[in-house]
Amino acid sequence: MEDLLKRIVSDCAPYKTLGKAASYIPELSYSNTEDLGITVATVDGKIYSAGDFDKPFTVQSIIKPVILLRALMDKGVEAVESIVGIESTGKPFDTFNYSDRALRVEHINPMINAGAIALCTLIDGRDGQEKFSRLLALARTISGNDNLKVDEAVYASEREAGSKNRALAYMLKTYKIIDGDIEDILDIYFHACSTLADCRDLAKMALVFANHGNVNGVQIMPKKYARYVNAVMSVCGMYDGSGEFALRVGIPAKSGVGGGIMATVPSKMGIGIFSPALDGKGNSVAGVEAVKRLSEALDLSIF
Amino acid sequence: MEDLLKRIVSDCAPYKTLGKAASYIPELSYSNTEDLGITVATVDGKIYSAGDFDKPFTVQSIIKPVILLRALMDKGVEAVESIVGIESTGKPFDTFNYSDRALRVEHINPMINAGAIALCTLIDGRDGQEKFSRLLALARTISGNDNLKVDEAVYASEREAGSKNRALAYMLKTYKIIDGDIEDILDIYFHACSTLADCRDLAKMALVFANHGNVNGVQIMPKKYARYVNAVMSVCGMYDGSGEFALRVGIPAKSGVGGGIMATVPSKMGIGIFSPALDGKGNSVAGVEAVKRLSEALDLSIF
Amino acid sequence: MEDLLKRIVSDCAPYKTLGKAASYIPELSYSNTEDLGITVATVDGKIYSAGDFDKPFTVQSIIKPVILLRALMDKGVEAVESIVGIESTGKPFDTFNYSDRALRVEHINPMINAGAIALCTLIDGRDGQEKFSRLLALARTISGNDNLKVDEAVYASEREAGSKNRALAYMLKTYKIIDGDIEDILDIYFHACSTLADCRDLAKMALVFANHGNVNGVQIMPKKYARYVNAVMSVCGMYDGSGEFALRVGIPAKSGVGGGIMATVPSKMGIGIFSPALDGKGNSVAGVEAVKRLSEALDLSIF
Amino acid sequence: MEDLLKRIVSDCAPYKTLGKAASYIPELSYSNTEDLGITVATVDGKIYSAGDFDKPFTVQSIIKPVILLRALMDKGVEAVESIVGIESTGKPFDTFNYSDRALRVEHINPMINAGAIALCTLIDGRDGQEKFSRLLALARTISGNDNLKVDEAVYASEREAGSKNRALAYMLKTYKIIDGDIEDILDIYFHACSTLADCRDLAKMALVFANHGNVNGVQIMPKKYARYVNAVMSVCGMYDGSGEFALRVGIPAKSGVGGGIMATVPSKMGIGIFSPALDGKGNSVAGVEAVKRLSEALDLSIF
């Protein structure tokens, strides 16, 4: 397996030059687009890595499945589905509206910004700080890494540059999908997106979903929540490239503009990938290629 | 003329019951939907009124033509058209976006909220307070009423309830159509919408536009700016009922959710109307009927 | 006046090179983009012309106001408004739908293809041939030119290339806005668009609308129908450049992709212009500039 | 297994009353909404059935995966993806357009009408009749039923009532996504939708996709085509209820307005279900509930 991963990292090198790092905040634009790392964590407890698997990056949208899981664990399916829909929107992740009329719950899903921001309001906690702490604690539990922490410089930049997320949040408030102080809610979200992780963290998080919530024999969440997250990632985890990803790779996955991809092969393995150069849809170019080759080599498609 | 106005006020009474007062803030919902007033100010200096012409109400969107005029006078046509378009959007006044993609200048116009908020940034002044002072001063000049002032309770409510306008403003900032502190910019807009006026004020403001900027022999603005405002009102002054208003009434006009309508008959007269019960598009029901009957009786259509 | 027209034709010559002839059918692409003609017909019976005023071209969309008038005269306002709306759509003239949901009457207007095709079904007549004959007869009456006829080669090409109009027509049928044999209905429309006219014909047609239906002392249509047509042209006669045209020119007008513009100055004059090079919205570049200069020179804006 | 199927058929009976049969053509409205049948065909060659499993119905949209397969087998992936996209549209299956602008390939997918009609043009054959024959032959091969045939009455009605599909097809032609005689192309599609099948036929067709193209040891299509079809069904096979279906059921599936559902559990089984009462999205109410219960009982979710 390690040979395979090394070969994939080597063979996918040319793809790094086909994209470019996110640039909406300075910190992301400084990313080294030469980086490419991959980790596979299997259900029998093995970990295999190659390339820049130990370089930390901000998870960005990859935190969305964790926000969804936190909301499911804190408030249940019904509460979640009262404020987010579960259909693909057919639109980019940060699109403003989805019809000519009022914003409706069915127009947003947990994998787009508006949906993830809405779900932050479902996390238990007296205030924004406690809510984020509980979210981070969950991320630490499923990654098995108690040192996961926020990159404060990225957080500050996200907050500074967050006009679009503010617009989305005020839109959610306008249509009474959420309530409360918008800056407080966004603070949870900006912190969450700025959480640092490496390929191993992502692979181990993905493994928990692949294991349907079972961590070393302990069921840390209902099996149905793990499947819920896997299904949602499959439908809309790769932005508006989710359909193509299903066809070419066939594995539930979530990408982030930091260059990471977390992919779950149910009952088999978790995969974490990192390469900062993005395609036009916001997915890591070399990362998508790497997981595609891994899927083909190991016949991982769920279809 | 006064007999005609009285008859119109009397005949339009049944229409008051066909709509309802705006309810998004408490102050507007308290409006007396029995009120109906009208004032006509002619180019030869006569003023005719009937009904509740002297009851004050907040101008709301009727301030938009004044914001447009202020921006034109302070920065000129080119600057205005660099941040707002001049086509009808074919959408409600507070719609979020106008295409599936990026917000573009051509998707907004000065008579919808997004456009008016954008234009507030073009008003000269060191800070928001001075900008609003200069806007209010212009409103006082063209209405000839130095006592025009803000209803502080309505202002406070507008600010409190302003999620949608905040969403629109952050959206404008996202697409770099405006820049600066959003709350400062919105403060100008919320103050502007909360300005109190009565039918006489509106009629006299409209008269200045009808007179193409000439007030008692003094040209207080270039003729082309008056025409600019009249044309923009004709295209999109009555929200997404502008086309129907052009057909049925044929006079450039702007309505507000406070129940007011300001209508300009070029080279002939200015008209101010007030009746708080609104139709589904946000226009005063009895007010539209009254100006329609006035237009028919005096053959005022510009078409 | 004739000197003015000559000067305008001369001064607007550079604008001919800023656009290009329509190319969706071969016949239009063969147009001589050097052509520029103008005719003014005043309410006191004078006719002034300059440039290529006597070169015939196909009226294309300029027939839409005539279709609207024919439908109004045959079936009345209520029937017309049961199948077309009267708001600007904020969309290009041949856009497919106007919301994410069902097509509704309010999403189309008489100046876009879908609306004009729908209105063809309201023309009296046993069959398509008789309906078109009655439409052509009306065009002849208001232009005062009994020789108006169809360019058969253009008609054949329009029919051949008419996929989009077929799609629009079947869409209208899908939503039960129209019924009947689609090819029969489109045949009226394709014939109508292929009618040949020159600047004099357009100016005289426009004059009838400017005169509110009065031709040599005879009221050939109710005054309100003329105003209806003028208002509709003002709102959406220049495609999605109607707002800009209102601001810059201020005259109700209708353009066609053949390069013609018919403009109506209520109570004053009718204007016919021809120059085949179009801008991106489908309006004649030199033609728009010419009518703008004429409006400024004679202070013709209705605003 | 048969006991389970019988219990599901029995337990899902109440759901039959929660929907209603399609009514856009008379033949479908005559369907007996009391019908509910199910067949499971497993990879080890067993067939289990319950309820009205042997009642024939028209497959309608369930033919779309077969059209996609036929196009893939005749022209390959590249040709297919040159005329259809593979993302969920986030819109109902028969929506007209997907943006304010030109129709683009990425706006359609093989599981919506526009995409399936487009793919009909890729089927090999000298004329429409031969193309449909080859499509039907493929359906017979994968269902193992040489008697599959068209319901001529339904076909006639589909053709008669096909305004929306005509509109879609002319739209595709307008944007040069397809070419040729529209009625000829639609004739293939109308025939295809009117093909009769029963639950056993659907289950056996699904089994071939579950077996990745292997039929009794013979690979009748490349494995990757089977996965392609399964992935596309997963993303958008259940109209705009595909996301919810992924969450609740977790099996690639395609439904038709005739009341059928074909569901594929990769490497495990094919499922055919029939019950004519539909929900608002066009999916069989009792059918969806039945496959959901089957998935839960046998832990079939792929996520």
Give chain D positions within 8 Å (CB) of A232. Answer: 243, 246-247
Give chain C positions within 8 Å (CB) of B241. Answer: 87
Q: Which residue of D has its CA nearest to C167?
A: D167
Q: Nearest CA of chain B to the CA of A294: how many Å?
A: 34
Give chain D positions within 8 Å (CB) of B100. Answer: 98-100
A149-193 pLDDT per residue, tens: 999 999 999 999 999 999 999 999 998 999 999 999 999 999 999
Instruction: Give me the pLDDT at residue A98, please.
Output: 44
Q: Residue by residue, what is the 3-state secondary structure of chain B?
A: CHHHHHHHHHHCHHHHHHCECCCCCHHHHCCCCCCCEEEEEECCCCEEEEECCCCCEECHHHHHHHHHHHHHHHHHHHHHHHHCCCCCCCCCCCCCCCCCCCCCHHHCCCCCHHHHHHHHCCCCCCCHHHHHHHHHHHHHHHHCCCCCCECHHHHHHHHHCCHHHHHHHHHHHHCCCCCCCHHHHHHHHHHHHCEEECHHHHHHHHHHHHCCCEECCEECCCHHHHHHHHHHHHHHCCHHHHHHHHHHCCCCEEECCCCEEEEEECCCEEEEEECCCECCCCCEHHHHHHHHHHHHHHCCCCC
Instruction: Give me the pLDDT at residue D17, please.
Output: 94
Residue B257 a catalytic site member: yes
Q: Which residue of A has its CA nearest to C100?
A: A99
CB-based contact B122:B172 (threshold 8 Å): no
With bands split at pLDDT 50, 70 and 90, how would you rate the model's confidence at A278? very high
Neighbours of chain D (3+ CB pairs under 8 A): A, B, C
With bands split at pLDDT 50, 70 and 90, how would you rate the model's confidence at A56? very high
With bands split at pLDDT 50, 70 and 90, how would you rate the model's confidence at D158? very high
String of DSSP letters for A194-257: TBEE-HHHHHHHHHHHHTTTEETTEE-S-HHHHHHHHHHHHHHTTGGGHHHHHHHT-S-EEE-T
| Average pLDDT, rounded, for chain C | 94
Instruction: Give me the pLDDT at residue A96, please.
Output: 57
Nearest to C264 by CA among B231, B228, B302, B241: B302
Q: Does D173 touch chain C (CB under 8 A)?
A: yes
- Give the mean model confidence (pLDDT) for residues C164-173: 93
C56-107 pLDDT per residue, tens: 999 999 999 999 999 999 999 999 999 998 887 666 566 554 445 567 777 7
- Give the mean model confidence (pLDDT) for residues D146-165: 96
- Give the mean model confidence (pLDDT) for residues D151-158: 97
Q: Do B243 and C98 touch (CB under 8 A)?
A: no
Nearest to B170 among A95, A97, A166 (CB): A166
CB-based contact D88:A88 (threshold 8 Å): yes
* ipTM of the complex model: 0.94
With bands split at pLDDT 50, 70 and 90, how would you rate the model's confidence at C284? very high
Instruction: Give me the pLDDT at residue C89, please.
Output: 65
Which of C97, C100, C107 to mutate against chain A (most A CBs within 10 Å)? C100
Q: Does C112 touch chain B (CB under 8 A)?
A: no
With bands split at pLDDT 50, 70 and 90, how would you rate the model's confidence at A99? very low
pLDDT exceeds 60 at position D96: no
pLDDT exceeds 70 at position B182: yes
- Give the mean model confidence (pLDDT) for residues C232-239: 93
Q: Which residue of A has its CA nearest to B173?
A: A163
With bands split at pLDDT 50, 70 and 90, how would you rate the model's confidence at D106? confident
Active-site residue, from B229, B239, B242, B288:
B239
Burial C224-242 (b: 16+ CB within 10 A, else e): ebbbbbbbbbbbbbbbbbb
Residues C93 and C238: their CA atoms lie apart, in Å, by 9
Instruction: Give me the pLDDT at residue B25, please.
Output: 93
Give chain B positions within 8 Å (CB) of C302. Answer: 266, 302-303
Nearest to C251 by CA among C237, B291, A116, A9: C237
A198-224 pLDDT per residue, tens: 999 999 999 999 999 998 899 999 999
Instruction: Give me the pLDDT at residue A89, please.
Output: 65
With a pLDDT cut of 90, the percent of chain A lying above it is: 88
Q: Could you tell me the two tokens for B9?
A: 């006020």
pLDDT exceeds 70 at position D40: yes
| Average pLDDT, rounded, for chain B | 94
Q: Which of residues 238-267 of B touch D (CB under 8 A)?
A: none
Q: Does D3 touch chain B (CB under 8 A)?
A: no
Which of D69, D247, D301 to mutate against chain A (most A CBs within 10 Å)? D247
B80-94 pLDDT per residue, tens: 999 998 887 666 566
Q: Which residue of B has its CA nearest to D97?
A: B100
Active-site residue, from B61, B255, B275, B284:
B61
Instruction: Give me the pLDDT at residue C103, please.
Output: 72
B265-279 pLDDT per residue, tens: 999 999 999 999 999
Q: Do C302 and B302 touch (CB under 8 A)?
A: yes
CB-based contact C110:C64 (threshold 8 Å): yes
Give chain D positions within 8 Å (CB) of C96. Answer: 96-97, 103, 171
Q: Which residue of D has its CA nearest to A246?
A: D231
CB-based contact C172:C113 (threshold 8 Å): no
pLDDT exceeds 80 at position B100: no
Nearest to D173 among C163, C171, C173 (CB): C163
pLDDT exceeds 90 at position B103: no
Give chain A positions within 8 Å (CB) of B169. Answer: 167
With bands split at pLDDT 50, 70 and 90, how would you rate the model's confidence at A88? confident
The least confident of A99-108, A112-121, C112-121, D219-228 is: A99-108
- Give the mean model confidence (pLDDT) for residues C224-230: 97
Q: Does B286 touch chain C (CB under 8 A)?
A: no
Phi, psi at residue B13, to the nearest 5°? -50, -40
Instruction: Give me the pLDDT at residue A229, please.
Output: 98
Instruction: Give me the pLDDT at residue B98, please.
Output: 43
Instruction: Give me the pLDDT at residue C99, please.
Output: 46
Give chain A positions within 8 Å (CB) of B163. Answer: 170-171, 173-174, 182
Instruction: Give me the pLDDT at residue D88, please.
Output: 74
A227-245 pLDDT per residue, tens: 999 999 999 999 888 999 9
With bands split at pLDDT 50, 70 and 90, how would you rate the model's confidence at A104? confident
Q: Which residue of C has its CA nearest to B86?
A: C243
Q: Which of residues 175-204 of D touch C (CB under 8 A)?
A: 182
pLDDT exceeds 60 at position D32: yes
Q: Nearest CA of chain A to the CA of D181: how many Å?
A: 30
- Give the mean model confidence (pLDDT) for residues B178-192: 97
Q: Does A99 touch chain C (CB under 8 A)?
A: yes
Q: Residue by residue, what is the 3-state secondary structure of chain C?
A: CHHHHHHHHHHCHHHHHHCECCCCCHHHHCCCCCCCEEEEEECCCCEEEEECCCCCEECHHHHHHHHHHHHHHHHHHHHHHHHCCCCCCCCCCCCCCCCCCCCCHHHCCCCCHHHHHHHHCCCCCCCHHHHHHHHHHHHHHHHCCCCCCECHHHHHHHHHCCHHHHHHHHHHHHCCCCCCCHHHHHHHHHHHHCEEECHHHHHHHHHHHHCCCEECCEECCCHHHHHHHHHHHHHHCCHHHHHHHHHHCCCCEEECCCCEEEEEECCCEEEEEECCCECCCCCEHHHHHHHHHHHHHHCCCCC
With bands split at pLDDT 50, 70 and 90, how would you rate the model's confidence at B261? very high
CB-based contact B42:B5 (threshold 8 Å): no
Q: Do D227 and A303 touch (CB under 8 A)?
A: yes
pTM reported for the whole predicted model: 0.93
Report, in angstroms and rounded to the nearest whole number, the Rg of chain C calculated over CA atoms: 18
Phi, psi at residue A31, to the nearest 5°? -55, 145
Instruction: Give me the pLDDT at residue D95, please.
Output: 59
With bands split at pLDDT 50, 70 and 90, how would you rate the model's confidence at A93? low
CB-based contact A24:A161 (threshold 8 Å): yes
